[in-house]
Amino acid sequence: MVGARITSIGTYVPPKKLTNFDLERKVETNNEWIIQRTGIHERRIAGTDEFTSDLCVLAVKDMMQRYNKTVEDVDMIIVATSTRDFPFLSVSSIIKNRLNISNTGAIDVNAACAGFVYALHTANNYIASGFHKKILVIGADTISKITDYTDRSTCVLFGDGAGAILVERDEQLNSFIGFHLGSDGRGAHLYIGWDCQEK
């Protein structure tokens, strides 16, 4: 099989900070309680006019600058996100347009916290199959836009940001060492409020 390797990495977080002390004024919590249970001191929050695709583009630009990379020849874009800009238009398609990448496929992966791992797994398999040579993989979310800031059990956890990597064909390497993927839907009702087994 054709080998695949990560050749560059970029990141972006919005400048606005939401500290534990800010949350103390919103919900019944405190700095010590949050740090003891999560280790989190602050999170970054997207502006009202800043969306997941914006964070993605800035992460890719950071990657390009850090590693002197270009993306015009990327032949697949995979974005892992749970917070698309729009319900039906994929974030990956928006990025394709904004970065002027003409000849590429574009898909989004929604697997919540595991999304980036699934996207990376998919990229590796696309390259190992021989059908693709250079894949842009991005993990990004603007969770603050859907967070309930009256729920202290969840609002202390989430912030916004993006990470981008290039996965490229390498004839001298084997594919990634390995993956262990799994899923357990038994707790779905704890997230969405109804028992999936009854539907």
**Whole-structure pTM value:** 0.90
Q: What is the pLDDT of residue 79?
A: 98
Per-residue pLDDT of the chain (199 residues; tens, 9 = 90+): 578 899 999 999 999 999 999 999 999 999 999 999 999 999 999 999 999 999 999 999 999 999 999 999 999 999 999 999 998 899 999 999 999 999 899 999 998 889 999 999 999 999 988 899 999 999 999 999 999 999 988 899 999 999 999 999 988 877 677 777 888 888 777 766 555 555 5
The per-residue b/e assignment along 89-121, b for 16 or more CB within 10 angstroms, e otherwise, is ebbbbbbbeebebeebbbebbebeeebbbbbbb
> What pLDDT, on a 0 to 100 scale, did the predictor assign at position 69?
96
Cα dihedral value 168, 176, 8, 18, nearest 10: 130
pLDDT of the residue at 115 = 93
Which amino acid is it at 19? T
Give, as one character, the DSSP assignment of residue 33: H
Q: Where are the domains of the chain?
A: 3-175
120 — alpha (psi -120 to 50), left (phi > 0) or beta?
alpha
Q: What is the pLDDT of residue 80?
A: 98
d(CA 22, CA 155): 11
pLDDT of residue 50: 96
List, for residues 107-133, the tens digit of each pLDDT value: 999 988 899 999 999 999 999 888 999
Spatial CB neighbours of 144, under 8 Å, sequence gap ≥ 6: 18, 43, 45, 46, 158, 159, 160
Per the listing, tokens 């002027």 go with 100
What contacts 99, CB < 8 A, 6 or more positions away? 57, 60, 71
Residues pairing with 14 in the sheet: none
The topology under which CATH files domain 3-175 is Peroxisomal Thiolase; Chain A, domain 1 (3.40.47)
For residues 195 and 185, give the distance between their C-alpha atoms in angstroms, rounded to a whole number: 11
Q: What is the pLDDT of residue 183?
A: 81
Q: What is the pLDDT of residue 1?
A: 59
